[in-house]
Structure 1
Amino acid sequence: MQRALLCIIFIVTGLPISFAQVQIRRAMTLMGSQFEITLVDQDSSIANSRIDQAVAEIERIENLISEWRSHTQIAEVNRNAGIKAVQVDRELLELTQRALYFSKISDGAFDISIAALDKVWRFDGSMEEKPSAVEIQKSIAHVGYQYIEIDSVHSTIFLKKPNMKIGFGSIGKGYAADRGRQLMQDLGVQAGMINASGDIASWGQQVNGKAWSIGVLNPFRSHKMIKVLKFHEHAVATSGSYEKYVEFDDVRYSHIIDPKTGYPATGVVSVTVYGPSAEFANGLSTSMMVLGVKEGRKLAKQFPKYKFIIIADNKRIYR
């Protein structure tokens, strides 16, 4: 997921003296990405202590769902692809079930088993040539959400095909933002914002009484905003092809892959979705990027609690 099209706007002047609160913001690297946690609390000491707790919760989630860390449960599931089912925590099982739900409603446009293509398409600067059609075809043979078997009774996940792999790069940060928000609310923190590299979950209001403001930038017009979102308890996520990509022969290939073809999705530059849950918004935005404008809008309109902004590669904006 790329997040450069979201701009957080903080306005913290004009604080009524009677509020006796502070607004603390801290940036850090978590889950391999830039996070920012902002809390409104009684004083800076309490706020910073709460941020430490939010960070610990996000690190706990990373140590559960990261496919890159060898000790995690999801790494164990991947190692046993085609061999045996692996027992996992109920939390991971349910996250996988929700991912499979997105696969079903998007007709496979969303698929966590796309992680099997991580050695074919690399967006870390190490790719020197475009993968061949044969390489891509071989790799997508290991992709398919229908081969992910869930046993709810025994809490196991089994990848039926050898060399399959699943990963939560698509919804993991949104889930972490949601969980961070829930933890802070449970601890009595009155307001705040968890920005998980652009997957944002907020609640309450800024210390000056104003709503949280998120600007959606236009990738075709530098520093121009398409819309400023203002909300209290809400979430927003953006999927885009505008920053994380590779180029071969003057053609740009996005990091968002169509699971059915193995090639980067085309036709849409970015999708911003906003509603109650960052995880759900992220699942929708990723699905819509792959489905394209027409089918993506059709999918999103099934969920009236969520709104969207689609920027197509012909520079048209759809809402």
Structure 2
Amino acid sequence: MVRLVSAFRFPRRFALPAGFTAAALAVLFAFAGCFVRETVFRNTRPLMGTLVEIAVVQRDEARAYAALRDAFSEMERIEGVMSAHREDSELSRLNREGYPGPVAVSPELFEIVQKGIEWSRNTQGAFDISVGPLLKLWPLYRAEKILPTDDAVAEALQAVGWQKVLLDSGGQTIGFRVPGMALDLGGIAKGYAIDRAVQELREAGIRSALVNAGGDLYAMGRKPDGSAWRVGVQHPRRKGELIAVLEAQDVAVVTSGDYERYFLKDGRRYSHIVDPRTGFTARGTASVTVVGPNATDADALATGVLVLGPEEGLRLVETLPGFEVAILSEAAEGSGLKFTASSGFRRYFRVDEAFDDRVP
């Protein structure tokens, strides 16, 4: 998770006040020396299974709230198209009818599915939008935590694989090669919704804003005092503590981790991120923070890197212009976390000197 931080001094260990929750991104606005006529207007709504906060810098209150309304409306619309949890969504209809299919879909859904498949190919299947059958097996949101059997996982894997998704750009249709398939856009749709909200704000004449969806965000422009937005990367094992701070301007910052949605059983952690190649929850990597030019790609990349792990994930990011990454993985010795970063990461982030390549 990433947080907006407002302290003007950079503390050595980034300790946050007691009670500072990690359940959702907390944005603290402290604008010393703000311009007299510019104000930050913000609103928060529950969307896409999280809390979304949008803040805009504007002189005119009516214009600011109109822009906020339009941005939220756009995100709500996208949720109605791409949610796998709403029976009335376009994605749910595709999942019901994709086999034997094909199904005619909207240009927007076709584009995101196509983008998701591109990232599936780029990550060699570590990110895969066809992971739906596997997600249904794991009891993340069920009271009784009964783990799936190896046979159940093996059966579900027969209906997983981006190569089994059939795209016809001419007819703008999507179909499935085998029965039982189901797409899940949870690893890319939230980023896309953030980008669409940013576009709505720009079209409304907003030049500075922050769109924050439960820890994944896009920072546009600068704060009223002329400084960049300050974004903190949370320690995945210590609530309220940061490991790095970014001064963000016109950039997306997305974190994927195993510490917000997970359950423990028999002393083992099971997160909401499933490795589509094995069918089991991803292990070994606690969090991945991606900095990139847009939230859609950063969202998919963060999930893919978490599944790939630090070595393969870092190699991938180093081939992608405009993207930087920080990876926190379980240390081989079993204590603490290993900190791995791309070559340009420290140009963006100020990392706690005490951490270096090891995070206690």
Work out whether the TM-score is over 0.5.
yes
Partner of 2:203: 186
Structure 1: any 5+ residue segments left out of the alignment?
Answer: none
Partner of 1:277: 294
TM value normalised by structure 2: 0.84
Partner of 2:167: 150
Aligned pair partner of 1:228 in 216, 240, 245: 245
Give matches, 1:1-319, under 5 Å.
Answer: 4=22, 8-17=27-36, 20-314=37-331, 315-319=337-341
The one-letter code matched in structure 1 to 2:32 is T
8 Å CA contact 1:272–1:310 kept in 2: the answer is yes
Q: Aligned partners of 2:101, 2:54: CA distance in 1, in Å? A: 39
Q: Aligned partners of 1:54, 1:213: CA distance in 2, in Å? A: 22
SS in 2 for 1:236: strand
Shift of 1:226: 1.5
8 Å CA contact 2:40–2:58 kept in 1: the answer is yes
Partner of 2:7: none
SS in 2 for 1:149: strand
What do residues 23-63 of structure 1 show as CA deviations (whole Å, max 9, x unaligned)? 01211101221101001112222211211111110111111
TM value normalised by structure 1: 0.95
8 Å CA contact 1:237–1:273 kept in 2: the answer is yes
Q: Aligned partners of 2:97, 2:143: CA distance in 1, in Å? A: 28
Structure 2: any 5+ residue segments left out of the alignment?
Answer: 4-21, 332-336, 342-360
The count of corresponding residues between Structure 1 and Structure 2 is 317
SS in 2 for 1:113: coil
SS in 1 for 2:79: helix
% identity of equivalent residues: 36
8 Å CA contact 2:82–2:89 kept in 1: the answer is yes
